[in-house]
Amino acid sequence: MKRLFILPLAAAALYGAARGLFGISMCRGNKMCLAGFVNLDKEQRRMNDALKREKNAIDAWQKGVKHESWHISTDGAALYAQAFINDEGCGRWAVVAHGYGCDGTLMLYAAKRFYERGYNVLLPDLRAHGKSSGKYIGWGWKDRYDIYNWCSLIKKHDPNAKIVLYGVSMGAAAVLMAAGEKHMSGVRCVISDCSYTSLKDIISYRTRRMLHLPPYVVLCWLRPACRKTMGLSIDDASVLRQVKKCSVPLMFCHGDRDRFVPTDNALELYSAARVPKRLMLVHGAGHGVSAFVGGDKYWNSVFEFADMFER
């Protein structure tokens, strides 16, 4: 008799956990409040402190440079980006992609760095983030074609554009997935900071860490929910497979104390790449803060890599 009660209760609990995980991970909303829940509160504080120190310089830079609002419509979504036009850009462009749960404004620190290096910069809000429309977050897989379309718009604006793709966390996954598609005209190289290897891998890892459950019991509920609700196949959303198809040079950056996306993900992606590549592990950096921990050394390495493939 006990089994008759226990099994339905267990199934209901698993269903509830999967529905909760779907709402937390896939639905639009401000995710910054989850930092403590997923053990990223330390990284969040470090990033906030660094951005506070740079705030005045970033604000003055943003007000003093020419920038425009760009828009595209694709797959039923109206997408938004800020374009910072550099009179000394000479065809050099950087597309800078933000991470999960925020928007392009969080990446102004990186946009400023690229601009001061002589790049025009496109700072998109990924779908279901910021000013871009969309109810569900695609974890980079849905965004790969959006990145492609932003690059096409840059090429229309500047036929001689030489484009660098740069992204952090989910933004890193998005630019790597985009680079795995064919006909990425104008893209010279991709720089990924703390990307995961696949959506399945990161969900499995977080399920074990957050819910203390075997991943398969949650995935068996989550897979059909994602497919039915948002047309997303968890198993198809693989950064690793896209990296194996990449034909442009790749740089992988990762903190060696990342507790959200294990550093092994960067090693696996680096090993899978079949193009000119570089790996930079930043000592003492957690998730998404390598640029702040590494400072000028980090950015010098990023630009040294990008400069190698400018022609």
Q: Could you read off the pLDDT tens digit of each residue along the chain, which spans 311 residues?
A: 545 556 565 555 555 655 666 667 777 775 554 545 455 667 777 777 888 888 899 999 999 999 999 999 988 889 999 999 998 767 999 999 999 988 999 999 999 999 999 999 999 999 999 999 989 998 999 999 999 999 999 999 999 999 999 999 999 999 999 999 877 879 999 999 999 999 999 989 888 877 777 888 788 888 888 898 888 899 999 999 999 999 999 999 999 999 889 999 999 999 999 999 999 999 999 999 999 999 999 999 999 999 999 77
pLDDT score recorded for residue 70: 97
Domain 40-198+237-308, CATH class in plain words: alpha beta
DSSP sequence for the chain: -HHHHHHHHHHHHHHHHHHHHHHHHHB-S--GGGTTTTT-HHHHHHHHHHHHHHHHHHHHHHHHSEEEEEEEEETTEEEEEEEEE-TT-TTEEEEEE--TTS-GGGGHHHHHHHHHTT-EEEEEEPTTSTTS--SB--TTTTTHHHHHHHHHHHHHH-TT-EEEEEEETHHHHHHHHHHTSS--TTEEEEEEES--SBHHHHHHHHIIIII-S-HHHHHHHHHHHHHHHH---TTT-BHHHHHHH--S-EEEEEETT-SSS-THHHHHHHHH--SSEEEEEETT--TT-HHHHHHHHHHHHHHHHHHHT--
pLDDT at 19: 63
Quick: pLDDT tens for 196-228. Answer: 999 999 989 888 877 777 888 788 888 888 898
pLDDT of residue 75: 81
Say whether pTM exceeds 0.85: yes
